[in-house]
Chains A and B, each alone.
Chain A
């Protein structure tokens, strides 16, 4: 995932050449930390009395918590059972629930015999993300790849052509729905947020007022109410007979909400760019948009990576709020799977399963942002 770049950038080569070569003075190696485990423990776990106490307390806590957890989750767990009675008889976790219900949790109400379609769509999407993450693939054809991937995904999900049965968006659910909400949300909200952030810093009063008004209005209300408005209020204003797809309404709500928050993260980045950068660009005769796109945004967005990714992660999990307008996202399907009475007692397992999927995606975003920060750091600044 976060492999260091394989290729050596020219500046690294230069930097090496510049290292002082001094024939008379023999370089002394820096003192190495002792390699032994005991030495490390003494230095890090028992360096002082408070440190020792904290170490002992942590060890005690782990000793109390971990063995029962392993006992429950692994040793005494029921991994496979067609009959929930087997689970009820056992002491441990009922992973059999996942075995029985994972297809519903992952794909919701999507026609059971067509589950290969959302599965393939998710797989394609994950592969496309993985490819895009590698800096070596940051080439123009990546855009083509994405257009193709999303096209194929849409085709798979909707169907209606090439012998695939048509599946309306009302029946989409589970992981594909969560990923659609998050991906479309991120992709659409990000450019809007940049425009909003620039607008908020604009010297044109109308643009400034509009941006501030939008950001403050959206930030001032909870996401649930934005979704609710998008779902319930919007159709009221539309003429009779015109309907907007429920999924689309949810997406609009999520995009607007995320854009408002992201805009503030981007603005933070913009504000940290020294005035001299703007002046130098002005003095060279660059236009406003040239200055913004070529000079300011590359620097500002780099600085804003942590809050931006923070917002992405937060928004990814917030998609679970679409339950309010009746969409079956991953968390909702995990919950709905439990409406089957014999399986009802095993809600912990179901939520853990959904939680693990959320965590995997969020953790990936977090690590990737760290990698990106480090890479951009290595590229530019050596001040």
Chain B
């Protein structure tokens, strides 16, 4: 929290010296990061650098083993209730969409609001259709996920997370499994979401998107945060040699 958190921008997510191991592999090594409300953080880095593990720790899909992790004033502890609390405020979008294939698009969207938030079904459907409109596929409500293209599925996944009206959205390589022509439609939705003021952590290699949307760029390697800077500095004058090398590789083509 060293970055002088002003009162109106109370931190949404705070990681203090977070560690995690897979066996003897030190996947997260002393991660400290603060995400303020409304801030958009884009994390990039080579595969195996721990960036996915990092955001999966934020909603308790992976458990950190050392350090403190506070989301929306709730500290994630081994207590199941803390995880439940955090997940109510945090939406997540996965690389492989993970829509429920046995349910229609609308059923996918309505499920969690009805069962977790105990929302009346009619209201949940109204909200679901509204979000389907916002991700530009209102006409697909009664199809099954398997009938949609990858880009449409990922937009449904975004709408599904939004239906829980989260305060924070996590994106774990949301466009990596998509055919090139579908990447833009998903990124457009994410840009609109960012413009609406959503707090976001996005793991992605889409640097064009990062430049447009990010307040803060994070570069991870070997389980540590190597560089953290606003995009203008990050892309033009990175302080670390590793960042420079990574950027040159990724921006080369």
- List residues of A whose CB falls within 8 A of some B CB: 10-11, 14-15, 274, 276-277, 279-287, 290, 294-295, 298-299, 302, 379-383
Contact = CB atoms under 8 A, between A and B. Distances in A.
Contact of B96 (A276, A281, A294, A382): A276
A290 B96 CA distance: 22
B61 A284 contact: no
Interface in B40-96: 59-61, 84, 87-88, 90-92, 94, 96
19 contacts: A10-B142, A279-B98, A283-B61, A283-B87, A283-B94, A284-B87, A284-B112, A284-B116, A284-B160, A285-B84, A285-B87, A285-B112, A285-B116, A286-B111, A287-B84, A298-B102, A379-B144, A380-B101, A382-B146
Nearest to B112: A284
Contact of B164 (A15, A277, A285, A382): A285
B115 interface: yes
A282 B61 contact: yes
A340 to B, nearest CB: 56
B245 interface: no
B100 A14 contact: no
A290 B87 CA distance: 15
Interface string B160-200: 11001000000000000000000000000000000000000
B243 to A, nearest CB: 30
Nearest to B56: A279
A51 B87 CA distance: 62
Interface size range of chain B in the complex: 20 to 34
A281 B103 CA distance: 13
B132 interface: no
Contacts of B147: 11, 14-15, 382
A84 B115 CA distance: 69
Contacts of A11: 104, 142-144, 147
Among A281, A283, A287, A380, max chain B CB count under 10 A is at A283
B148 to A, nearest CB: 9
Contacts, number: 86
B102 A299 contact: yes
Nearest to A283: B92
B144 A382 contact: yes
B129 to A, nearest CB: 15
B111 A294 contact: yes
Contacts of A299: 100-102
Given A276-B97, A281-B100, A383-B146, 11 more contacts: A11-B147, A276-B98, A277-B98, A280-B92, A282-B87, A283-B161, A284-B111, A285-B84, A285-B164, A287-B84, A383-B145
B98 A290 contact: no
Nearest to B111: A294
A135 to B, nearest CB: 15
A244 B116 CA distance: 45
B101 A286 contact: no
A15 B60 CA distance: 39
B213 interface: no
B99 interface: yes
Contact of A380 (B87, B115, B144, B160): B144
A277 B100 contact: yes
B244 to A, nearest CB: 34
Contacts of B102: 298-299, 302, 379-381
